[in-house]
Amino acid sequence: MKKVGIIMGSDSDFPVVEKAVNTLKEYGVPTRVHVYSAHRTPAEAKSFAENARKEGYGAIICAAGMAAHLAGAIAANTTLPVIGIPIKAKALEGIDALLSTVMMPPGIPVATVGIDGAQNAALIAIEILSVSDESLAEKLQEARDKKAAAIREKDRELSEKYSID
């Protein structure tokens, strides 16, 4: 199976990124995690992106806050799919990172999830790998079915408890 790379701009991003790591672990996806910053360690970030395809990665998740150019910088150096997680920092509540990550000029895409949307980032990476991996496709469907069953149960409970004749 292809690997997923998770890159974050700072170890201070990890409390959010951990949800992506856990989701990939749940699905049994080989994952490598690194702190590479587009501005503090740009050489490492560039080298990772340039070598990722030949090293067996299928998707790269990039998490960064503030003027978050990490996902764009990684995408500039690979044609693998790059998924950006805008991290919520204090000053602008993550709007800064959201706009920096999502507003890529045409030609170098970054698939951007919501602010702190680490679980969805992992799920998109898994969906990408599932195109050529039937067991992942089955696991994704099972998880959806389970979620839908749980919601139906909640519907039944609330409906019984609060409906008024």
Residues that bind ligand RP5 (CB under 6 A): 9-10, 12-13, 37, 64-66, 87, 89
- Report the DSSP pairing between strands 111-112 and 3-8: unpaired
Element (H, E) at 62: strand 57-65
- Shortest distance (Å) from residue 9 CB to ligand RP5: 3
Those residues with Cβ within 8 angstroms of residue 158's Cβ, 6 or more apart along the chain or in another chain: none
- Shortest distance (Å) from residue 112 CB to ligand RP5: 14
Using DSSP's 3-state secondary structure scheme, residue 66 falls into coil
- Shortest distance (Å) from residue 31 CB to ligand RP5: 19
Give the integer Cα–Cα distance in Å for 42 and 45.
5
Looking at the Cβ atoms of 9 and 84, the one nearer to ligand RP5 is 9
Looking at the Cβ atoms of 54 and 90, the one nearer to ligand RP5 is 90
Looking at the Cβ atoms of 87 and 124, the one nearer to ligand RP5 is 87
Give the integer Cα–Cα distance in Å for 132 and 145.
21
- Shortest distance (Å) from residue 67 CB to ligand RP5: 8
